[in-house]
Amino acid sequence: MLERYRAILSGKKLPYYLHTAEDEHYHLIKEEELRELHNKNLKSDVPPLVLKSELAHRMLEHCELCEWRCGANRIRGETGKCGVSAETKISSVFLHFGEEQELVPSHTVFFSGCNLKCVYCQNYDISQRPDAGRNVHPKILAERLDHGGGINVNWVGGDPTPNLAYILGVMEYMKEPLPQVWNSNMYLTKEGMLLLAKLMDVYLTDFKYGNDKCAKRLSGVDDYTMVVKRNHIIAERTGDLMIRHLVLPGHIECCTKPILQWIREHLQSPGVNIMTQYRPVYRASGYDDVARYLSQDELNFISQLKDEYTI
């Protein structure tokens, strides 16, 4: 587990983003040709960061980074389903010591806004306020991350997906060999996942639901299981994978068990963190099943699961 991550920390490998190439004037190439060039490079090499960055910025004109595929022209000020504009808003940047042990201290960038609308969101003050926070020039943030004392850079939110173009812009200024961590709900399109491929060294994912009915009712999204399962498989091909599952009250049979079963059958050896710190916050009181804390029986059952699934 975390073989690539540990190799970077020990100096045996470089983070993907530090693989460089000459700038081939990508800004002069049509978007479809850029996409073909990028995907061709993925098969045999690490696509240049400037190529990924140019392609991500082009996609902002018809946003298809997440599975809403709303097509918003964020360059012209449209915000789409997530509410995030082209001017990225950062809620906070700090050294985080509350992440998984292998990742701390993690230099964590919290973005405002999210492409999911979870009724129980534990970070609703960030995720549901896409205009909150402030815009920071990519060069200024890069310098802070380079010299901030973290052993990795952790892109989170809200969710980092709507801010991918900005993240790439920050990476273009960074110099230090810090592993890059994608901390996300994983509701990306395949196009978005291909931009992350051979860019992110670690995927710290949030696997919420074992079926689409729960996902639609509690997070307002369609085709959740197909999208997130596909993206976990893609992520494992090029990066280290750590999966978080926040257990919801009343959802062990319909969500927790199916998720863990799928992980066992379809993934190789990801880290799995089964989390029990659910709190009925935000709008959870309006939904009977998630309007309470986990029961003692549920906690006891989860404790047994942790003996099998552990990071």
59 occurs within a structural domain: no
Q: What is the pLDDT of residue 306?
A: 75
- State residue 311's pLDDT score: 47
Q: What is the pLDDT of residue 310?
A: 52
Distance separating alpha carbons of residues 251 and 294, to the nearest angstrom: 10
Asked if residue 79 belongs to a domain, the reply is: no
The answer to whether residue 196 is domain-embedded is yes
Q: Which residues pair with 93 in a beta bridge?
A: 109
Record the pTM: 0.96
For residue 26, is it within any domain?
no
Is 47 part of any domain? no
Q: What is the chain's pLDDT, residue by residue, as a tens digit (311 residues)?
A: 899 999 999 999 999 999 876 667 898 999 999 999 999 999 989 999 999 999 999 999 999 999 999 999 999 999 989 999 889 999 999 999 999 999 999 999 999 999 999 999 999 999 999 999 999 999 999 999 999 999 999 999 999 999 999 999 999 999 999 999 999 999 999 999 999 999 999 999 999 999 999 999 999 999 999 999 999 999 999 999 999 999 999 999 999 999 999 999 999 989 999 999 999 999 999 999 999 999 999 999 999 887 776 54
For residue 18, being part of any structural domain is answered with no
Interior angle at CA 27, CA 26 and CA 30, nearest 5: 85
Residue 179 sits in a domain of what CATH number?
3.20.20.70
Give Cβ neighbours of residue 277 (< 8 Å, ≥ 6 apart).
122, 246
Query: Could you tell me the residue range of the domain that residue 234 belongs to?
Result: 84-306
Give the per-residue pLDDT at 19.
Answer: 87
Q: Is 291 exposed, middle or buried (0-12, 13-18, 19+ CB in 10 A)?
A: middle
Structurally, the chain folds into a number of domains equal to 1
Q: What is the pLDDT of residue 25?
A: 86
> Could you identify the residue written with the tokens 């020039």?
137
User: What are the DSSP E strand ranges found in the chain?
Assistant: 90-96, 106-111, 153-156, 180-184, 202-206, 240-246, 271-275
Report if residue 273 sits inside a domain: yes
d(CA 141, CA 151): 16
With respect to residue 35, please indicate whether it lies within any of the assigned structural domains: no
Beta bridge partners of 108: 94, 154
DSSP 67-110: TT-----GGGT--TTTT--SS--EEEEEEE-SS-GGG-SEEEEE
